[in-house]
Amino acid sequence: MVLCLLIMSILVMQIDSSPVDAATADELPLADMQRHSDHRVIVRYSSTLTGESAAAEIEKQVHKLESQPNVVRAQSLPRLGMAVVSMASAEAGEQLMADLQHDSSVELAVPDTWVSAFDLFADSSNPPDVAADAHRALRAERALPAQCSAHPACRMRGLVGDCCPAKDGMMLSCCSSQGKQLFALQTYHGTYVSAGPDGEVSQAVGTLQDSEHFEMIFHADGNVSLRNDYGKYLRSDEQGFVRADSTDLTDSEKFEIVKNENGTVSFKSYFGKYLAAEDGGSIVANRVNASLWEQFSMQQLAAPGQRLPNDPAFSKLWGMHSYHGFDIDAPEAWQVWTGEIGKGITVAVIDTGIDYNHEDLSEQMWVNPMEIPGNGVDDDGNGYIDDVHGADFANEDGDPMDDQMHGTHCAGTIAGIGNNAVGVSGVAWRGVRLMALKFLTSTGSGRTSDAIRAIDYAVAHGARIASNSWGGGGSSSALRTAIERAEGAGMLFTAAAGNEASNNDEVPSFPANYDISNVISVASTTYLGEMSSFSCYGNSTVHVAAPGSGIYSTVPNNGYETLSGTSMATPHVSGLAALVWMYRPQLSMHQVRDIIIGSVRTLPALDGKVITGGLINAKDALEAAWAFDPPNPPAHAPQAIDFEDTDPRIGAYGGVVTITAAANESDIEYYRVYMVSGAGFQLEALGEPIPATGAPQLTLELNGSFVPPEYARALVAVSGRASGEMPARLKGLAPHVDLADYGMPEFGPKSASWSGDADAQAGFINGSILVGRAADEASITTYNIYWRTETGVRGPLVGSIAAIDFLEPVCSGPSCGLINMSMADDGAYVFEHRPYGDMEDAEIEASGPGNVELTYFDTEDYYDKLTVADMELSGNYTGSLPYTMQLGDGRSSIVWTSDESIPGNGWSFQIRQEGSMAELKVEATKVLGSGFEVVPAYGKNELVSDAIVVEIFGEKGKSQSKGAQGGKRRLSASQPSQSGRNRAPAQKKPPLTSAQAKQQKEPWLRQLDLTSRNSARVVWSADQVEQLSDVAAHHGRVRSSFTVAGLAEQACTLPATRVAYTQALARQLPGVEESGVRLVRVLVPPLEELKDTAPQERMGTVIVEFEIEPSAGAHITDLDRIESKLILLSTSHRAADEFGVALAVALKASGLPPPLHSHASSSGVVFAAPQQLSPKMLAAALPPDAVTEHPGNRRLRGSASPQYI
């Protein structure tokens, strides 16, 4: 237990909760170094100030905070009853915390900390196979239904044993055994191994038949047998002959599986010879070595009771389905439910972001219905601009694009689109809405305050599940309280147990260790059913295990990679929770949690390692959910739905939805409107339910406009009642209306002219109409060109010119007003900024094809950057100018940023675009007017006010403008953007490739090096095991350690010295008496850990481990206050120095010399991050005879919902 305390003490928290000094700053990425200068305090208000009703009061409190001196920014988190305050300095943060102690509305103010992602790239463990299966705990709690033979559908499919017909008519496979593992064996020649009813084994070509189906049977000795579709086993003899005519299992029917590097397998017989597919079509087992003919590809097949997707990489998803059998039984669950029909559910992935453009994720992304994409405006007023798919709290903007890969990988396991013939399959095929909440940077580290902000956002926007593959560091009562208050909103919180291979019962890992009834803590397993070598575990603190070693999933840029970690195990649980909840949407959060925990498959390797002793099982979880009544929707549907968009903005819809009520409303309580995709999948609901009143027509008045998800194509009206709601589908009883966007162009053409002469034949012309494209074609689909008569009447259509999404260069951002923008004689756009200042931020967007010519460039190297598309420029380029960069097709961004340091002389460049003019050829066309009218259009809607008239007779070729010229040139608007646009996505680092990530040795993991720490010398330890006091049994304790240098070694463990340690801690910690300080051990670190320490300090450096409990009669928040102070001691030099002074005073009072220090300004004391231990954790760490029968420390072992009272 105390070994890892020693580790954490010596490292002083490798997760960045330690103060940043000269020693650590070089190890931090630049972005994280800059963010360390933002000193934050998390303010926790009284629990009465939560929910919508208290939002105004919290805003009032936040405004009061912003008026305090040295407060840079304060952000309210009303759903959690909290606020995050950014301070000008660490000292200002400490002063604010002290001031808030006297504010009656504040429960506690807590310093911010840092956490990181939990993942690895490879799992080196290869543990032995494990015998499977025991009875499920949940199944024992309810009576089993009838035998399969008693049910016609089971009997028809050949199922045996106990079967589970669901109440809604869906079938589950047999309860008495795991599902079959069926495969086809493809040879090197492209043929398949075939075993006919006569026992002959050969090769077959063409479509797979029953003879090519094999079931794999596993034996305790690690070998396998292959049984064909006729119930006969494949066998070989000493001569190498192979037949499939045996019904008995002897040694001749056993084969050893040998895995090959190319992904194939080979089968070695009992006689030591390999199975081979010969060129002539025969199958033999007489080869000594395994070459190409001895290699087979195993193609998974759906067995009875299974449904397999058609995704090409599904065979790599061993966690879903594996011939070893230690998977989550996903195909058996998918036979029942995939999420394709139903109301859907939102899952918040709190991580490094998600590549929301990924081919296997884009259709599953959550869409903020109140945000208009790309308009640079915070439409819904939640503080984030263009937060369409979530938000980025690490970079303070609305774009949660993954610049690492971790979050995208987790998202693919949760809800990669299943059965779409692309990539992988998530646990939930359809229906999940992935909300991307980025708080970890590209290095995989992030701040606790940003995690709390992400939780608040998730609660505010309706997420039911939060997936959390991160952690580390000490505990934080602020984060714990945020999770507790999210529980009140009904949110399930899945959390990775950690990758330190340690016991979480002894050394906790947060947030997984928070003892809250909405948390599921997840360990990791291998494909052989063993605990992964890196996985944390805990018989009292980790609930379940899930596949986490070698997990294949999505990564940015339409990629796929294999990663390992409890980070990869956790999304399996999150996806299963979504699948269960969509299957039975009436379940409460706690019921879903209990179902997942109670339906595990117990494994010997997990006994004593996790509370349940088991691996999650999707089939059994749905079986448990089956026990709840399925939805019972009305039988009658509304007769019609009508909607016509009245919002002229592109992509935004407004108006009134009209529903024609059902002819019979006897079973209807309300109507509801849903958006559905073109494929017929149900998306988000629109507005609130409309009560059925008996009126023939009902209307849904939209409160403002809405922006549908990208794939929404129609609105469907459904009927509902308390027992259920009919599904919203395009093909079904519910009526639908197509979504037709009434959009109007925002810009018109810049110019139009006629080029050519009248045809020699009277009454005909021949030439071209040249159109100057609009400054921004985002709202234009075509330019429609009509004949126009001399009297001004529009004639017939001549033709149309398609828009190409052209965009003139336009600047947005707070620094645009500082940049000189002009037009050169040759039509190039000139941008010049010489000189520049500190903390500038601007984005220039333009369409290609074209080029950017750099004419002058001198900036501070590395820190002040101009990013052109994907090329980053920094430093001095004056010796190699002009320099030309190409702009590809489509829109590109040029982003300028500077920091607050030494500026350079500035820069200038020119943008030249192609395609700004469009041409419509008019060949030998009869004259039907005196000229043309060029009108911009979006679909069928035309902006007539911006039309341009071109006269072709009289003064030929001269265009005469009627109405607006369509220019609206944004280049001339060189003032700072009024939209307050946040940092552009182009500023973020591009996603790491797998090779780059591997070369970086996974810096975000910050794994602890256990090797050298094991040699630390214990010089004193408490030698008695004490019973828990009443205070500890009720409230728990806080554990931590401090390192002090310069003590005389012979005096560091004297009783008087230990008294001084105790007195100094009691004086520095709030509400703590000396009796509440429990010293655990005193250690001397190995000399190699102190090589950078001054000689006079090196011999006297000790680590003191301790536990703290509050005084008798303590308030419920007192332990949190102690933890908060210890966080401050671990993150603030000044606070640690104050403790050092108190320690010196206590030593002097005991007649002992104070510590010697090489730096007069430092006390030489460093604290580790604290760990708050619940009463249950304390009781779990003590021997049974030391645990009193007190309600506060009673252990509920094996409980589906472990809690302490």
**Is 968 exposed, middle or buried, given 0-12, 13-18 or 19+ CB atoms closer than 10 A?**
middle
Q: 849: how many CB neighbours lie within 10 A of its CB? A: 14
* Cα distance between residue 244 and residue 610, in whole Å: 42
Task: Name the residue with tokens 């996985």.
Answer: 535
Catalytic annotation on 351? yes
Q: What is the DSSP string of 548-593?
A: -SSEEEEETTTEEEEEBSHHHHHHHHHHHHHHHHHHSTT--HHHHH
Among the listed residues 406, 833, 1034, 1157, the single catalytic one is 406
List b or e across 922-957, with b for residues whose CB sees 16 or more CB atoms inside 10 angstroms. Answer: beebeeebbbbbbbbbbeebbbeebbbbbbbeeeee
Q: Report the sign of the C-alpha dihedral through residues 344, 347, 353, 354, in that order.
A: negative
942: left (phi over 0), alpha (psi -120 to 50) or beta: beta
Q: 89: how many CB neighbours lie within 10 A of its CB? A: 12
Among the listed residues 567, 815, 892, 1124, the single catalytic one is 567
Please calculate the CA angle 363-364-367 and round it to the nearest 5 degrees. Answer: 90
**Contacts of 495 by beta carbon, 8 Å cutoff, 6+ apart:** 468, 471, 511, 512, 514, 519, 520, 521, 522, 570
**Is 208 exposed, middle or buried, given 0-12, 13-18 or 19+ CB atoms closer than 10 A?**
middle
Task: Name the residue with tokens 């979006």.
Answer: 938
Whether omega for the bond prior to residue 882 falls within 30 degrees of 0, making it cis, is: yes
Cα Rg of the chain, angstroms: 34
Q: Which neighbouring-strand residues pair with 1186? A: none
Tokens of 414: 């949760």
- For residue 154, give the H/E element and its range: helix 152-156
What is the rounded end-to-end Cα distance, in angstroms, of the chain? 24
Among the listed residues 16, 351, 397, 402, the single catalytic one is 351
Q: Are 120 and 1002 in contact (CB under 8 A)?
A: yes
* Cα distance between residue 892 and residue 806, in whole Å: 11
* Dihedral, CA of residue 394, residue 398, residue 399 and residue 400, to nearest 10: 50
* Cα distance between residue 324 and residue 318, in whole Å: 9
Q: Are 428 and 582 in contact (CB under 8 A)?
A: yes
Catalytic annotation on 406? yes
The one-letter amino acid code at 309 reads: P
Q: Are 1115 and 1123 in contact (CB under 8 A)?
A: no
* Cα distance between residue 312 and residue 285, in whole Å: 31
The one-letter amino acid code at 111 reads: P
Count the alpha carbons within 13 Å of 681 in the hemisphere toward its beta carbon: 18
Q: Are 430 and 418 in contact (CB under 8 A)?
A: yes
Paired sense of beta strands 841-858 and 906-913, if any: antiparallel
Q: In the chain, what is the greatest distance between 2 CA atoms, to the nearest angstrom?
A: 119
Describe the strand order of the beta sheet including 71-77 as a list of residue ranges: 71-77, 82-87, 39-45, 106-111
Least Cα distance to 1126 among 1044, 1039, 1061 occurs for 1039
List b or e across 357-378, with b for residues whose CB sees 16 or more CB atoms inside 10 angstroms. Answer: ebbbbbbbbbbbbbbbbebbeb
Give the residue numbers marked as catalytic: 351, 406, 567
